[in-house]
Amino acid sequence: MGTTTAYLKHIKGITFVGKSKSNHWVNMDGPEEFGGSHAGSSPKELLLLSLAGCTASDVASILKKKRVIFSDFEINVTADVMEEHPKVFTKIDLEYVIYGTDVQPKDVERAIELSQSTYCAVTAMLKKAVEINHTFRIEETNNQSVVV
């Protein structure tokens, strides 16, 4: 088993910057009523973006290996949040949207399944604590370029 590290630095109030092994700084902050200044995404927002980014990377890579040509790719994320503290996510819905011509649903479905069940480490960690659902749709376009 390997290890990884991260570093977090307090800036002011609840504004922080952090970096990990890629050495890229990320700003984190919150609303003014909690001591923030809206200088960055909240940690919970970053969690949702991490989930979407992890599975999107898998799906794009798998589709490329399957030689599926697509012109664009998006994931819409919706999360239900508890009303009381600690205000955790209770359900996360991912909608994968693939744009292209002649994209086969079975290819997209298989890529998502592989990401969700095998490759996406963020999904593997989060699904132990929160329900994660997914849907997908394919939007037909005339553009045939691959975005990866």
Tens-place pLDDT, residues 43-83 = 999 999 999 999 999 999 999 999 999 999 999 999 999 99
| Residue 56, domain member (yes or no) | yes
Q: Flag whether pLDDT at 115 surpasses 90.
A: yes
Q: Which two tokens stand for residue 109?
A: 């479905």
Q: pTM of the entire structure?
A: 0.91
Residue 145 lies in a domain: no
Cα–Cα distance for residue pair 60/123, rounded to 1 Å: 16
Residue 85 lies in a domain: yes
* Contact between 103 and 70 (Cβ < 8 Å): yes
Structural domain span for residue 29? 1-41
pLDDT above 70 coverage of the chain, percent: 96
Give the H or E element holding residue 50. helix 43-65
Query: Tokens 């790719």 correspond to what residue?
Result: 73
Domain match, 134 and 62 both = yes
Position 113 pLDDT exceeds 80: yes
Query: Of 51, 70, 52, which is closest to residue 108 (Cα–Cα)?
Result: 70
pLDDT at 148: 46
Do 21 and 94 fall into the same domain?
no
| Domain co-membership, 119 together with 91 | yes
pLDDT band at 143 (very low <50, low <70, confident <90, very high): low
Same domain, 11 and 35: yes
